[in-house]
Amino acid sequence: MRRFDPTALPGFAFVAVVAVLALWAPIVTMVVYSFNASDSVAVWGGFSLEWYAVAAGNEAVQGAAIRSLWIAFCASAIATTVATMAALGTTRRGRFRGDRAIYAMVNQPLMVPEIVTAVALLIVFASLKVLTGYTGLGWLILAHSAFCVPFAYLPIRARLEGMDTTLEGAAADLYATPWQAFRRVTLPLLVPGIAAGAMLAFVISLDDVIITEFVKSAGQDTLPTYMLGQLRRAVTPEVNAISTALLVLTMALLTAFFAMTRTRKPT
């Protein structure tokens, strides 16, 4: 029986080219116009790095960028720690009653619209802000952490499921305690999955707009929400420059993520 080959279907190449153009043409246009010497996004005035210098010297952009990186770092660290414990608990003790419910609960942010998660987090953290009187970045970090847990959980769980459990059994046969087996066997093998999950959580937190818009307090703009505020006024080449820099950082982290999670073929 001949294998079905979708690339042999009539019009496949045309549809593929149109899909790629629809995805990448706007992004390429934005990157090109970030080097525009003119202050108009519709008129090309020559090549220039002026808007990158303007963005780098903008104190509001600097503050939003530092805040975004700090929130993303803290949120990815918390989310990765929680995701690692959840992955160990759901993969290293065999099947048990309720394991599917736990899996669904951990991945709940992936299964519902982000706006629903944002509204739920807004209700919870607004109540906590009123109750405690604290309006710092802690609430925003916790909100991002809750949303990023499943993104860190999936690569860590995939890594655990691909690991040979007999290695841990061998460590136990050599009189290693459960903690020694975890520290000397499981954890070193799990590090690539943990790193990949942390990077993916970092990217998701860094790029998030909806949850940040709902949960943040006054003066807590991140880089994406700052850009959204600027776009409501006017689209300038400065916004294009910031978007391009954010795009480069995101693609670099995602490239590293795919490199770490790539399955190597046996030689």
* Contact residues for 64 (Cβ-Cβ < 8 A; gap 6+): 221, 222, 223, 225, 226
Q: Is the pLDDT of residue 262 over 80?
A: no
Distance of alpha carbon 53 from alpha carbon 212, whole angstroms: 27
Q: Is the pLDDT of residue 267 over 60?
A: no
- Looking at every residue in the chain, the average pLDDT score rounds to 84
Q: Is residue 215 part of a domain?
A: yes
Between 192 and 100, name the one with better pLDDT. Answer: 192
From the number of C-beta atoms within 10 Å of its C-beta (0-12, 13-18, 19+), residue 237 rates as buried
Q: Is residue 69 part of a domain?
A: yes
Percent of the chain's residues with pLDDT above 70: 95
Q: Which domain holds residue 256?
A: 55-261
| pTM: predicted TM-score of the whole model, two decimal places | 0.82
Number of domains in the chain: 1
Type of residue numbered 233: R
Read off the pLDDT of residues 168-223 as tens digits, 9 standing for 90 and up.
Answer: 788 877 878 888 888 888 888 888 889 988 988 998 998 889 999 999 888 888 98
Q: Is residue 253 part of a domain?
A: yes
Residue 31: closest CA among 244, 231, 239, 249: 244
Q: Is residue 46 part of a domain?
A: no
The CATH code of the domain that includes 173 is: 1.10.3720.10
- How much is the pLDDT for 29? 87
Q: Is residue 25 part of a domain?
A: no
Q: Is residue 145 part of a domain?
A: yes
Read off the pLDDT of residues 131-173 as tens digits, 9 standing for 90 and up.
Answer: 988 888 889 999 999 999 999 998 898 888 888 777 878 887 7
Q: Is residue 100 part of a domain?
A: yes
Sign, CA dihedral 55-56-58-62, equals positive
